[in-house]
Amino acid sequence: MFIGMGSNLGDRLAHCRAALDRLALLPGTRLKRVSPFLESEPQEGVEGGRFLNAVAEVSTSLAPRELLGHLQDIEAGLGRAPDHRAGAARTIDLDILLYGDTVMNDPDLTIPHPRMAVRRFVLAPLVALAPGLRHPVLQMTTTELLRRLGPERPAALSGMRQ
């Protein structure tokens, strides 16, 4: 399964690394790999400076809703308010992108992430980890989804690998 992360407030790299450290400590969870960190401009009306984004591959015995609760706890522990306004800058944002072949469409949790297929800042790091991974709804690989967005690709920041 894959978790997207981003930060555009404060020490972005420190926030992302702290989130990864906490993710690795979740019960029944193992952090397998982390993509290169990429910089991107804020999208979808989000305030603040450039984002630092990455994707983590994890294995977990946690159910999707349990995992979501833990991710929200990690966000809160790193300074993201529970009543965070959607367009505000953020110390950390953690999203379940894919949970195996699970497809959920509940009011509080949608898997696969509903906007991942149109977000270069999600797809580029995901392709770095799993270029042939197939989206369980769209039935396209991550590479195919990224190609649909056009040729522009964000550059990896040197020295910022986990």
Q: Tell me the catalytic residues.
A: 80, 90, 93, 95
DSSP string, 28-55: TEEEEEEPPPEEE---TT--SS-EEEEE
What residues contact residue 21 under an 8 Å CB cut-off, 6+ apart? none
Residues contacting 61, CB < 8 A, separation 6+: 27, 28, 29
Cβ atoms of 99 and 23 within 8 Å: the answer is no
